[in-house]
Amino acid sequence: MGSLVEERSVTGWAARDASGILSPYVYSLRKTGPEDVSIKVLYCGICHTDLHQARNDLGMSNYPMVPGHEIVGEVVEVGSEVTKFRVGETVGVGLLVGSCRACRPCKSDIEQYCKKKIWSFNDVYTDGKPTQGGFASHMVVDQKFVARIPDGLAPEQAAPLLCAGVTVYSPLKHFGLNKPGLRGGILGLGGVGHIGVKIAKAMGHHVTVISSSEKKREEALEHLKADDYLVSSDAAKMQSAADTLDYILDTVPAHHPLEPYLSLLTVDGKLVMMGVINSPLQFFTSMIGLGRKMITGSFIGSMEEIQEVLEFCEKKGVSSTVEVVKMEYVNRAMERLEKNDVRYRFVLDVAGSNLTG
């Protein structure tokens, strides 16, 4: 156990307004409480959610804001009542750092559906201070919302699993789609989609990548080892694939029609929506009624599932495809992310960066 020092100053990179431009920002962290874990941030993934929040795309942003919710770090101090972690361990923190602990979701260990959940950044903690994320040198987090990184996972590889990885793992597990032999579709081949292909393949599924163009065919089949590739505008191929998929993980974070993909599902097939979309989607009810198909959603995953997906990926040898960059490159990385110009996830080398600019 460390010394439980008082509040300390840390440096992160923060957005000050809806331009989303990040620059060094000094702020204070609370002292390490009895159930807190103090973490030196090593790596942090960059997700579309970081981009949306930094630029106030959802209309809920508060500034200054330090983004980052795919955080891997080293424990440097633990509170007096911490039992799960010790100094020197490598740990991870995802999108949540708190919840009410009393509602039905919390008592069912699906705290991601708690209506009083506390986001790891752009939120207010129980002490009244704003939460700040992993684009920073250190964090202090309640032990409940910290996961252990298995020894066999490189820290920069583990970072995307804390959001993108668990986002695809959670619905596969919850809907009973984690058994071998299923036929699945991955719609959209970005940060979430690419890890979806890898996890589904590791579960023993026949995986089809569905995309709007031929651009990623070779990448999907040769690098990610998908079994098939469908271009959604190819009517003949889409027709030949009708009624063949048990599920589709829809990772596209933009408005798009649903009918072409619903037609690919077999009876009792499930279309799982994952992208954050600001405009209503529509479909004909006959598209689901005539096949007892389901359109559903899923949101990240529980702390239990985060630990599970980390251990699953270690056991199965699943790795993320990442581009590691320094913090001084973060604004360029955000611009490239907006254009989907990354294969497939940026990860910030926070500990190896000069955070003062």
What integer pLDDT is reported at residue 3 of this predicted model?
47
Q: Express each pLDDT in 51-66 by its tens digit.
A: 999 999 889 999 999 9
What is the reported pTM?
0.95
What integer pLDDT is reported at residue 1 of this predicted model?
42
Q: Express each pLDDT in 81-133 by its tens digit.
A: 999 999 999 999 999 999 999 999 999 999 999 999 999 999 999 999 999 99
Q: What is the mean pLDDT of residues 17-35?
A: 97
For 8-106, where are the E strands, in sequence order?
8-15, 22-29, 36-46, 70-78, 90-93, 96-98
Residue 322, pLDDT > 50, answer yes
Q: What is the mean pLDDT of residues 204-229?
A: 96
Q: What is the mean pLDDT of residues 244-253?
A: 96
Burial of 290 (0-12, 13-18, 19+ CB in 10 A): exposed
What integer pLDDT is reported at residue 22 of this predicted model?
98
β-pair type (322-325, 294-297): unpaired
The set of residues, in sequence order, having a beta carbon less than 8 Å from that of 38 and lying 6+ positions away, is: 2, 29, 32, 75, 76, 77, 78, 138, 139, 140
Task: Identify the band that residue 275 occupies on the pLDDT scale cut at 50, 70 and 90.
Answer: confident
Q: What is the mean pLDDT of residues 265-292?
A: 93
What integer pLDDT is reported at residue 20 of this predicted model?
98
Q: State the Cα–Cα distance between residues 260 and 29, nearest whole angstrom.
A: 49
What integer pLDDT is reported at residue 7 of this predicted model?
79
Shortest CA distance to 137 belongs to which of 308, 323, 353, 325? 353
For the chain, where are the E strands, in sequence order?
8-15, 22-29, 36-46, 70-78, 90-93, 96-98, 118-119, 138-142, 147-148, 183-187, 206-211, 228-231, 245-250, 265-273, 294-297, 322-325, 345-349
Q: Which residue has the tokens 């702390």?
A: 303
Q: How is residue 131 annotated by DSSP?
A: P
Q: Do 122 and 194 contact (CB within 8 A), yes or no?
A: no
Q: Average pLDDT of the chain?
A: 95
Q: What is the mean pLDDT of residues 256-268?
A: 96
Q: Express each pLDDT in 142-189 by its tens digit.
A: 999 999 999 999 999 999 999 999 999 999 999 999 999 999 999 999
Shortest CA distance to 169 belongs to which of 192, 146, 145? 192
Q: What is the mean pLDDT of residues 297-325?
A: 97
Task: Identify the band that residue 5 occupies on the pLDDT scale cut at 50, 70 and 90.
Answer: low
Q: Over pLDDT 90: what percentage of the chain?
A: 92
In the beta sheet, which residues pair with residue 78? 37
Q: What is the mean pLDDT of residues 196-213?
A: 97
Q: Which residue has the tokens 């990354």?
A: 342
The set of residues, in sequence order, having a beta carbon less than 8 Å from that of 102 and lying 6+ positions away, is: none
Q: Under DSSP, is residue 281 helix (H, G, I), strand (E, B) or coil?
A: coil
Residue 76 amino acid letter: V
